[in-house]
């Protein structure tokens, strides 16, 4: 039977972390107009940060970097879910001293930034481990946010700040170590969804996997405790929160 589980989530910094295998596959992207694309690429001679070969080196975390991508050239692009970008991009390089999780945040550049895209390569162009276009949402200018990308000691990771379409502009990049979630599940609440069967189509609470999106209201539910923010800030100690998730038992 499928249940809705209320979980107490301890968010902790840990030396032994479970690392993701790579970015998820993308469904067809929702439409997004180009009316907000205002940057004008300048390009020109190569400079520090223009490519992987000239990447700006990050000595340690946390890290904050700023700049203007319009002054650079268009060298890379990835689809997550929007492809075909001709935006100029800039590259940072980081070699983690140990296995870790990395958070990349471009949200805080708004309203002075542009419609960004951000992705991470391991060791070489094309070896993609994480990618995001619009996680910060329209209210923050479609800026990008990567949560808990898995990094391994002995490799070099290239963080690319790119743009949607042909957009470019100012950016504020924050990189810091992430933390894994440890779940301590308590009593489950029956969900009430019909039993699954072969070729079953979920029209009950398919979430973001269906169009239009389908979500179920959980009652009783303490809304103040059943939501968790998508963005996190750098942590110096453990944090505990409560959220509601769907699982099968």
Domain boundaries, the chain: 2-14+183-248, 56-177
Query: What is the rounded distance in angstroms from the CA atom of residue 222 to the CA atom of residue 107?
Result: 28
The two tokens of residue 212 are 């239009």
Whether the predicted pLDDT of 234 surpasses 80 = no
How far apart are alpha carbons 38 and 237 in whole angstroms?
41
Q: What is the pTM of this model?
A: 0.66
**Does the pLDDT at position 7 exceed 80?**
no
pLDDT digits (tens, 9 = 90+) for 61-73: 999 999 999 999 9
For the beta sheet containing 90-94, the strands, ordered from the edge strand earlier in sequence to the opposite edge, are 56-58, 90-94, 157-163, 116-122, 128-132
Question: Distance from CA of residue 104 to its chain's centroid?
Answer: 7
* Per-residue pLDDT tens over the stretch 80-123: 989 999 999 999 999 999 999 999 999 988 888 899 999 999 99
Omega before 111 cis (within 30°)? yes
CATH number of 56-177: 2.60.120.380
Per-residue pLDDT band at 42 (split at 50, 70, 90): low
State phi, psi for 7 to the nearest 5 degrees: -115, 140
Give the residue from 39, 43, 168, 160 showing the smallest Cα distance to 90: 160
What percentage of the chain exceeds 70 in pLDDT? 59
Nearest in space to 107 (alpha carbons), one of 211, 209, 233, 242: 233
In total, the chain counts a number of residues equal to 249
């Amino acid at each position: 039977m499928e249940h809705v589980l209320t979980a107490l989530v301890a968010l902790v910094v840990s030396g032994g972390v479970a690392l993701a295998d790579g970015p998820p596959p993308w469904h067809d992207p929702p439409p997004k107009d180009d009316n907000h694309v205002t940057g004008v690429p300048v390009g020109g001679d190569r400079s520090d940060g223009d490519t992987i070969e000239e990447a700006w080196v990050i000595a340690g975390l946390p890290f904050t970097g700023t700049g203007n991508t319009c002054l650079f050239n268009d060298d890379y692009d990835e689809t997550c879910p929007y492809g075909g970008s001709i935006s100029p991009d800039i590259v940072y390089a980081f070699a983690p001293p140990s296995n870790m999780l990395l958070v990349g945040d471009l949200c805080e550049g708004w309203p002075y930034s542009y419609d960004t895209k951000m992705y991470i390569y391991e060791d070489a162009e094309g070896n993609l481990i994480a990618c995001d276009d619009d996680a910060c949402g329209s209210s923050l200018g479609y800026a990008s946010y990567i949560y808990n990308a898995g990094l391994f000691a002995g490799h070099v990771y290239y963080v690319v700040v790119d743009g949607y379409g042909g957009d470019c502009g100012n950016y504020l990049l924050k990189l810091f170590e992430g933390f894994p979630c440890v779940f301590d599940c308590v009593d489950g609440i029956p969900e009430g969804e019909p039993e699954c069967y072969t070729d079953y189509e979920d029209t009950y609470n398919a979430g973001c996997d269906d169009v239009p999106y389908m979500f179920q209201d959980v009652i009783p539910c303490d809304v103040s405790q059943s939501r968790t923010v998508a963005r996190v800030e750098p942590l110096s100690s453990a944090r505990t929160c409560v959220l509601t998730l769907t699982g099968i038992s």
